[in-house]
A and B are shown apart, each in its own frame.
Chain A
């Protein structure tokens, strides 16, 4: 168990700078998830920590030791690849034993470690098989087993679940969370899937174009996104983003929408607001005229336990409302929306959240 410290870490590929400068401290025993859209530099960052990619500028320390010039195998890390990267010509046992064997670990000790890991992952019956005789989920377990056997200080996962089908993904996600608790090891987990990030992480690092947008616990990121990018990314359903014009009416800030709707904000910060962000789950449907936003229903998506109601506001903006159960709403019906107090987000012209206390909504 070790901490990982990145200071001013930067990466160039030739003349192209893909990671400008990253500062981040991952505490010992923490499970940190790097999340961001494809191509934002998650893998590159992880591979620099692993020692598979040269660090152009800055320093990486693991457990207090600078490791920029330390070989991958000596950094005390283990990596689980998206493709599993098992050795196809070796049995499951040999796959898991390979690292120990190279380290000249005594045979009996290797046997014990491999069997222990196999038991934890419930792959003991597979030890004599070749990878090609395994299902995707089983290969994934072997890849994790190979990592466990190395007894690393830091586990690195690069999108380990993206080649699995949905149900197996959910199951394996829970097992990784379990593993983190039972091993207590530091883990860095890369994914582009915000659900994985929310459910697994102690802390989430949101990356965009090689920069850290925000670092925080899943609930911090959900409740207080620092900008529109994080607000849009850390969400099951995209946040409704409405263009607004802020007006100061004798100390009260009023946010005016196209179509004439007005919403009162209490924080003086909202004076610079240009965008009002409202999650679909942070509003309630009310009878027409009983809420600040009014529009007509265009589509109802029934998901069973809840439904997404797509509506067009009087100003023409699209707006999505999430409601429990199966509402009985006709297409074209006129409805209004009331905001749950304290749950609206306001952003300035640059997309930065304006927050000083929460935005109070009338």
Chain B
């Protein structure tokens, strides 16, 4: 009597099938590792996109990494990226997403549906279309100028020129709040109504209930949300690039734009690789930090 055929028909065929089944996974992981190794490897070379050095590149040690700190560009872009991430994701999307989720719980009927659709639209719209909408709205002859400022007698303002950073921050808040809203809606659903009512009977105001009961109870959701939107926003490219191209000056030149320019406009693939590796390290460190924060103290 053979147990093999009775209990594990799938595995009983030997390792052949197992290996066959794991090929897609191996390919996927292999590709990830390959690209990472590729980027890390070439960050130590002077590889170019075109010209002689695209073929005859040479090893230059840590030169590219040194340039991150000695040449203009990287540190400025790092700062722009950190501010952009902080204001548009951690503050803007999280806070707005949470507030909307809290308020919408009490709301029923068509108004709620309307607002939810509006929130989702921003999320579902392609980045390029969103960028066009925001540019059209904030341009010198755009919606805000012609509908609000003009009639009130103000001079028209080219927002994308004069307030480039705030405008891309607002645009990204609008674009990305849906994720936080959805996540916090689900999180708030997980808080039993009874517990909030017990706090109400205990005399907690709305603010005290939120800060001392609701927020601690959804702590892990807050951590997850922050982790995700930080990673996404830190490496976000299309919306900002399509709206401002990183300008004016370096005002909105986030790291992804800086990396793109160095790699594909100027053609220094080696330097671009070093920038990518640096971004990877920063995001990785942030992720470790959040995951640590999330771990419940026993």
Interface string of B184-203 (1 = CB under 8 A from A): 00000000101101111111
- Complex: A103 Cα to B208 Cα, angstroms: 12
- Flag if A83 contacts B201 (CB, 8 Å): no
List chain B residues, Cβ under 8 A from A72. Answer: 197, 200-201
**Which residues of chain B come closer than 8 Å to A82, judged between CB atoms?**
194
Q: How far is the CA of A82 from the CA of B194 in the complex (A)?
A: 9
Closest residue of B by beta carbon distance from A88: B217
Task: Flag A69-90 by CB within 8 Å of B: 1 or 0 each.
Answer: 0011110011101110111110
B133 sits at the interface (CB 8 A): no
Contact A85 B195 (CB under 8 A): yes
Q: Which residue of B lies closest to A82 (CB)?
A: B194
Given contacts A102-B204, A102-B208, contact A86 B199 (CB under 8 A): no
Residues 211 to 238 of chain B near chain A (Cβ within 8 Å)? 212-213, 216-217, 219
Q: Which residues of A contact B219 (CB under 8 A)?
A: 89
A284 to B259, CA, bound (A): 96
Which residues of chain B come closer than 8 Å to A71, judged between CB atoms? 200
> Of B198, B200, B201, B203, which one neighbours A87 at CB under 8 angstroms?
B198
Q: Pick the contact of B213: A74, A79, A87 (CB < 8 A).
A: A87
Q: For A73, give its contact among B195, B200, B216 (CB under 8 Å).
A: B200
- When distances are taken between beta carbons in the complex, the residues of chain A under 8 Å from B213 are 87
Q: Which residues of A contact B194 (CB under 8 A)?
A: 81-83, 85
A294 to chain B, nearest CB (A): 54
| Residues in A neighbouring B204, C-beta threshold 8 A | 73, 98, 102
Q: Number of contacting residues on A, CB 8 A?
A: 24
| Binary B-proximity of A84-118 (CB < 8 A = 1, otherwise 0) | 01111100000000110011000000000000000
Q: Is A192 an interface residue (CB 8 A)?
A: no
Contacts of B197 in A (CB 8 A): 52, 72, 79, 81, 85
With A and B bound together, what is the CA distance between A200 and B149 in angstroms? 71
Name the one of A77, A83, A87 contacting B199, with C-beta atoms under 8 angstroms.
Answer: A87
Q: A83-B192, A85-B192, A89-B217 are contacts. A78–B199 as well, Cβ < 8 Å?
A: no
A87-B195, A89-B217, A102-B208 known; A78-B203 Cβ under 8 A:
no
Q: Which residues of B contact A81 (CB under 8 A)?
A: 194, 197-198
In the complex, chain A residues whose CB is within 8 Å of the CB of B216: 89
Measured CA separation A325–B298 after assembly (Å):
56
A43 to B123, CA, bound (A): 41
Closest to A52 in B: B197
A203 interface residue per 8 A CB criterion: no
Give how many B residues have a beta carbon under 8 Å from the other chain's beta carbons.
Answer: 17
A73: chain B residues at CB < 8 Å are: 200-204
Interfacial chain A residues near B212, Cβ < 8 Å = 98
Residue B201 contacts which of A50, A86, A88, A103 (CB distance < 8 angstroms)? A50
B195 touches A103 (CB 8 A): no
Compute how far the CA of A289 lies from the CA of B198 in the bound complex, rounded to whole angstroms: 62
Distance in angstroms between the alpha carbons of A89 and B203 in the assembled complex: 18
Compute how far the CA of A72 lies from the CA of B199 in the bound complex, rounded to whole angstroms: 10
Which of B198, B212, B217 gathers the greatest number of chain A CB atoms within 10 Å?
Answer: B198
- Docked complex Cα distance between A74 and B203 (Å): 8
Instruction: Indicate whether A150 reaches chain B with its CB closer than 8 angstroms.
Output: yes
Question: Which B residues touch A83, using CB under 8 A?
Answer: 192, 194
Find out whether the CB atom of B201 lies under 8 angstroms from the CB atom of A77: yes
Q: Which residue on chain B has the smallest CB distance to residue A53?
A: B197
A98 touches B202 (CB 8 A): yes
A199 to chain B, nearest CB (A): 26
Please measure, in the bound complex, the distance between the C-alpha atom of A98 and the C-alpha atom of B203, giving whole angstroms.
9
Given the complex of chains A and B, what is the CA–CA distance between A305 and B175 in angstroms?
A: 72
CB-nearest residue of chain B to A75: B201
- Residues of the A chain whose Cβ atoms lie less than 8 Å from the Cβ of B195: 85-88
B193 to chain A, nearest CB (A): 9
Does A79 contact B217, Cβ atoms closer than 8 Å?
A: no
A144 CB to closest chain B CB (Å) equals 13
* Distance (whole angstroms) from the CB of B199 to the closest CB of chain A: 7
Question: Are A85 and B217 in contact, CB atoms less than 8 angstroms apart?
Answer: no
Q: Which residue of B lies closest to A97 (CB)?
A: B202
The distance from the CB of A34 to the nearest CB of chain B, in whole angstroms, is: 18
Closest to B216 in A: A89
Q: Is the CB of B200 within 8 A of A52?
A: yes
The docked-state distance in angstroms from the alpha carbon of A228 to that of B195 is: 38
Whole-angstrom CA separation of A88 from B197 in the bound complex: 14
Q: Which residues of B lie under 8 Å from residue A103 when comparing CB positions?
A: 203
Residues of B within 8 A of A79 (CB): 197-198, 201
Complex CA distance for A77 and B213, rounded to whole angstroms: 20
A52 CB → nearest B CB, Å: 5
CB neighbours (8 Å) of A85 from chain B are: 192, 194-195, 197-198
Against B, the Cβ 8 Å flags (1 = close, 0 = not) of A49-65 are: 01110000000000000
Q: With the chains together, A83 CA to B212 CA distance in Å?
A: 20
B31 to chain A, nearest CB (A): 42
Instruction: Annotate A138-149 by CB proximity to B: 1 below 8 A, 0 otherwise.
Output: 000000001000
Distance in angstroms between the alpha carbons of A102 and B203 in the assembled complex: 7
Instruction: Output the residue of B201, B217, B219 with the most chain A CB within 10 A.
Output: B201
Closest to A152 in B: B201
> CB-CB < 8 A to A98: which residues of B?
199, 202, 204, 212
**Closest chain A residue to B205, Cβ basis:** A102
Asked if B192 contacts A99 (CB within 8 A), the reply is no
CB distance from B210 to the nearest CB of A (A): 13
Chain B residues packing against A (C-beta within 8 Å): 192, 194-195, 197-204, 208, 212-213, 216-217, 219
Q: Mind listing 15 A-B residue pairs with CB under 8 Å?
A: A51-B201, A52-B200, A72-B200, A73-B202, A73-B204, A79-B197, A79-B201, A81-B197, A81-B198, A82-B194, A83-B192, A85-B192, A87-B195, A87-B217, A102-B204
